[in-house]
Structure 1
Amino acid sequence: MARAGRPPQDPARQIERAHRILDAVAELVLRWGYDKTTIDDIAQRAGVAKGTIYLHWKTRDDIFAALLRRERVSLVEAVRDREPATLSELFGEFSRALLRRPLLHVVLSGDSEVLGKLTRQKRENAARLRIDGPFEAYTARLIELGAVREEPGHHVRVITSIVYGFLFLPGGLTAGPPGELSDGPADGGRPSDDRVADLVADTIERTMSTGKPLDAAAEKAVADATLAFLDAAAELAGRKLAASLGTEPVSTGRRAK
């Protein structure tokens, strides 16, 4: 007979329970904040024994790291499902998907009431704007195809400045509940998430594009490179999540049509 509190040996049941625990953590952290969320609270909300949680993770910080990795997988998958075909579309969709995830809202805004002692650590981690993957190789390919300017260089820094500039402008992430509609910051309200994402995409296009029309072959090559980058990002995010869950990574390659 299995000992009380021991995780089930069936991998499917084990991973289901891990995700149930993470669901509880997400709910409690958003409701009460990280500092006030205890292991006892998590166990009660998830319907598991306290000892079971420690068999999955050693500390609260480990649990929260797993939760953020799961959020990152969800984010990358959402972007990839939209099948962006250009650099500007990629980060427009990145912004759109990010704005629709409350937990990432508080991480990116550094909300101290929610994150507590993790505020500095997690905001600095998020501030790297990580859609993980071979981004330098991706941008080099777009430059080669004539879709992106080589100057001024520092593409990651430029894109990060654009995305975060729009997310943290008055009327951005910190100015109202996600999804609230308004005419924009000029009226003191918050623009819609879709409007913010469209502005990000438009600004990146104007800043990074060569402005030269591409032929059909080059357009297809750019779209293929964008999806290949997202496939690589999804694979890496999935491996990191699997490491946090103690499971084998599941292939997240682009699904066949």
Structure 2
Amino acid sequence: MTGRTDRETKILDVAGDMLVRHGYRRVTVDDVAGAAGIGKGTVYLHWKTREELFVAVFAREVRNAVADMVATLHADPAVALLHRFAAEFFLTILGRPLLYGRVIGDAQMWGKLVGSEVDHDGARHHAVMASYLDVLAERGLVRTDLSTPELTYAFQSVFEGFIYAERTVGSTGTRDERARLLSATVESAFSRPGTPDAALADEVAALLSRLT
């Protein structure tokens, strides 16, 4: 089983790297197999089609991003606060080109998989965010004059605006500086003072785990 896992990891590594460098339309299973040093048939032992392979690449990218966020939450419970969470998640997405490409709908990188719900359940992501905001509201850590749907919509609009601005507006300062600007914006718009604890961080981490 270890050998199979190592082989799958190698294939996914190679496929992901090639997607970033060349884009969906220019990467074939032959290309991936050659770069991985294996036969094309070996790739098909794991995934029946090229699309299934690329779906697996993205699914692993999401799992790894969530794992990074969970580790950060456990290391620093303050990341459970909405403005801190926003900054860390922003940096996590920007640090993963494959994830960033899907978020902004980069058709060159992801081809026909852009907008596909095969590997991306938008409703589930929205529900997890709403649950997260409910948890913060129960602890008095976000404004309560907005309903959860209103708060979820407003926060996601701000967050996604910062993500899309990376491509459409151009960069100002470093990534860390832009993350701090996002944090300050979210804090002033939505947050309420409070001190999170490990129990809150664990609860938020458990919610994030639903995304994988």
Structure 1 and Structure 2 fold alike (TM over 0.5): yes
The 1:137–1:104 alpha-carbon spacing in structure 2 relative to 1, beyond 3 Å, is closer
Give, in whole Å, the separation in 1 of the partners of 2:124 and 2:200: 19
Over the matched positions of the two proteins, sequence identity in percent amounts to 30
Report the alpha carbon displacement of residue 51 of structure 1 after superposing the two structures with TM.
Answer: 1.3
The letter for the 1-side match of 2:163 is L
Q: Deviations over 1:112-170 (max 9, x none)?
A: 22223333437x9487794x88443332222122111223222322221111111222x
Match of 1:231 among 206, 209, 212: 206
Partner of 1:249: none
Give, in whole Å, the separation in 2 of the partners of 1:69 and 1:198: 28
Partner of 1:51: 41
Q: Deviations over 1:181-232 (max 9, x none)?
A: xxxx6xxx5432112211222222112123xx44xxxx244x5323322234
Match of 1:158 among 154, 161, 164: 154
1:98 matched to 2:93? yes
Higher share in helix: 2
Q: Root-mean-square deviation (CA), in Å?
A: 2.7
Identify the structure with bigger relative contact order (alpha carbons < 8 Å, sequence gap 6+).
2
The 1:26–1:236 alpha-carbon spacing in structure 2 relative to 1, beyond 3 Å, is same
Single out whichever of 35-44 and 152-161 deviates more from structure 2.
Answer: 152-161
Q: Greater Rg, structure 1 or structure 2? A: 1
The 1:147–1:22 alpha-carbon spacing in structure 2 relative to 1, beyond 3 Å, is same
| SS state at 1:82 partner | helix
The 1:116–1:235 alpha-carbon spacing in structure 2 relative to 1, beyond 3 Å, is closer
Report the alpha carbon displacement of residue 109 of structure 1 after superposing the two structures with TM.
Answer: 2.5
Give, in whole Å, the separation in 1 of the partners of 2:168 and 2:124: 18
Structure 1 runs not aligned, ≥5 long = 1-10, 176-184, 238-257
Q: Is the 8 A contact 2:124 2:211 kept in 1?
A: no
The letter for the 2-side match of 1:58 is K
Q: Is the 8 A contact 1:21 1:43 kept in 2?
A: yes
1:200 matched to 2:171? no
Q: Deviations over 1:55-100 (max 9, x none)?
A: 1111111111111111111211222232213121112100011111
The letter for the 2-side match of 1:111 is D
Give, in whole Å, the separation in 2 of the partners of 1:137 and 1:145: 13
Structure 2 runs not aligned, ≥5 long = 74-78
Q: Give the paired residue count.
A: 204
Q: Is the 8 A contact 1:85 1:224 kept in 2?
A: no
